[in-house]
Copies of this chain bind each other. A is one copy, B any other.
Amino acid sequence: MRIGDLSKLTGVPVPTIKYYQREGLLPYGERTERNQARYTDEHVHRLRLVRALVDIARLPIATAGEVLNAIATPGRDLFKVVGDVHYAVTAAPDDAAPDQQPVAELVNRLGWTVKEDNPSRRALANIFEVLAELGHTDLLDRVDDYAEYAARLAALDVGVLDGRTSTDEILESVVVVTLFGDALVSLLRRMAQEDLSTKFKPA
């Protein structure tokens, strides 16, 4: 198909498609003898994935590129890809290093294997500090309970990966599950909050 068909099929305007190509998010079409570019179903799929990363996961263009690169290299193992995707999307605080001790203790209590340089550790340590400064330590008191449900969600995520057969599918699923899973969980949680807030009576 031509670029106009790709645009119609996905709802993405042609100038935006060309922008994604310049930014390396979408391969160029194959040149035909009549000097036109030809696009395939793979382009359609890739373009939909790019849109989802930008619109749903709300990634900046450069970060979406890093995520797509993380799954594009052949022969990568899952552990490395999960790490790279997390690195790309987790902005660790760049000001004064937060105290790592409470997060290290939490990881120990839970018995989790989490790399020392996983940026989630620093980002979480920063949340701990800010909540303490704001006087919301009651949320921190329940962090083990939050972690328990987070672990059950992660087990669901891995169950999704388990249903995939090819490496390409598994790697793409890591991205989908991690990023759209974030959005899925926070939207469901907000709907559940609204449901519960109709029943909540302050003491």
Residue ranges of A at the interface with B (Cβ–Cβ < 8 Å): 11, 45, 48-49, 51-52, 55-56, 58, 78-79, 82-83, 86, 90-91, 93, 95-96, 107, 112-115, 118, 120-121, 123-124, 126-127, 130-131, 133-136, 138-139, 142-143, 145-147, 149-165, 167, 170, 173, 176-178, 180-198, 200, 202-203
Closest to A180 in B: B127
Given the interface pairs A123-B187, A185-B185, A192-B112, the reply to whether A153 lies near B160 with Cβ below 8 Å is no
By a CB distance below 8 angstroms, the chain B residues around A191 are 107, 112, 114, 118, 120-121, 124, 150
Give the shortest distance, in Å, between A194 (CB) and chain B (any CB): 5
25 A-B pairs in the complex with CB atoms less than 8 angstroms apart: A56-B127, A79-B194, A79-B197, A82-B197, A86-B193, A90-B190, A112-B191, A113-B198, A114-B195, A118-B190, A127-B184, A138-B160, A139-B180, A146-B181, A149-B185, A150-B189, A151-B188, A154-B195, A155-B196, A157-B196, A158-B197, A161-B200, A162-B203, A178-B190, A182-B182
Q: Are A147 and B188 in contact (CB under 8 A)?
A: yes
Interface secondary structure of A, over-half rule: helix
Q: Are B139 and A196 in contact (CB under 8 A)?
A: no
Q: CA of A124 to CA of B56 in the docked complex: distance in angstroms?
A: 10
A181's contact among B114, B123, B155, B189, by CB below 8 Å, is which? B189
Q: Are B189 and A185 in contact (CB under 8 A)?
A: yes
